[in-house]
Amino acid sequence: MHGALRAFVAEPSLENYLTAREELLAVSSRSLTVAELDALPLLADANDIRGLTEAISHLPPIAALVPRVHYYAALAAEARGDQEDLELEQMLLVICLRAMLLSGDGSEEAPYIICAPSDALDLLQELELAAESRTLVNRGDAAFDVIRCDDGSDVWFDASAMVQIPAKVPAISPSRREKTGKSRRRKARRPLTRTGR
């Protein structure tokens, strides 16, 4: 367990959460993807506890602060009969949710600070709100996930850690093609056809 994460677990304060978040983001070689998060309930529903445990073990370090990951880790621990791990995962789920709730108030001026796309929906559930629509708002180097709720309110989440605004991809100019002396021709794609089933 990373030092800052250990400090957060020992003393789950906002300051320790933010420090652990920064450390785990720095050591994560990649971000936690929606596909990885979506696989967890599929494995749990299929009662594939070995697959679920394996999938969780391959997540990037930042997953240690994602409540949904701890929820599914707790389900796996319960299915394995591992009471100690079950209690740890339940505690981690609760302290991660509490820390995110302490990180802001959901307003544009003080958005909740999250680590994964699922965090926003998990926090809304905790606040007994339902999402109606979702918008990504970019402001300078920051990205915000803004969710319009069923009560008409907008809840803001700082999603900067998850969203990377893509850089412009350099295009090959016609003059550069002439220099290489090659023109690239694309192979024609076969149209997709229906199978007669």
143: CB partners within 8 A, 6+ apart = 136, 137, 158, 159, 160, 162, 163, 165
Q: What is the pLDDT of residue 105?
A: 96
* pLDDT of residue 56 exceeding 90: yes
User: The whole model's pTM is what?
Assistant: 0.78
Buried residues in 125-139 as b, exposed as e (16+ CB within 10 A): eeeebeeeeeeeeee
Higher-scoring residue by pLDDT: 124, 33: 124
Q: What is the pLDDT of residue 140?
A: 86
Residue in 147, 97, 103 with CA at minimum distance from that of residue 122: 97
Q: Tell me: the pLDDT tens digits for 70-126?
A: 999 999 999 999 999 999 999 999 999 999 999 999 999 999 999 988 999 999 999
Cβ neighbours around 14 below 10 Å, total: 16
Q: What is the pLDDT of residue 163?
A: 62
C-alpha to C-alpha distance for 196 and 6, rounded to whole angstroms? 58
pLDDT tier for residue 1 given thresholds of 50, 70 and 90? low
Q: What is the pLDDT of residue 190?
A: 38
157 touches 134 (CB < 8 A):
no
Q: Tell me: the pLDDT tens digits for 121-150?
A: 999 999 999 999 999 999 888 899 999 999
What share of the chain in percent tops pLDDT 70?
Answer: 82
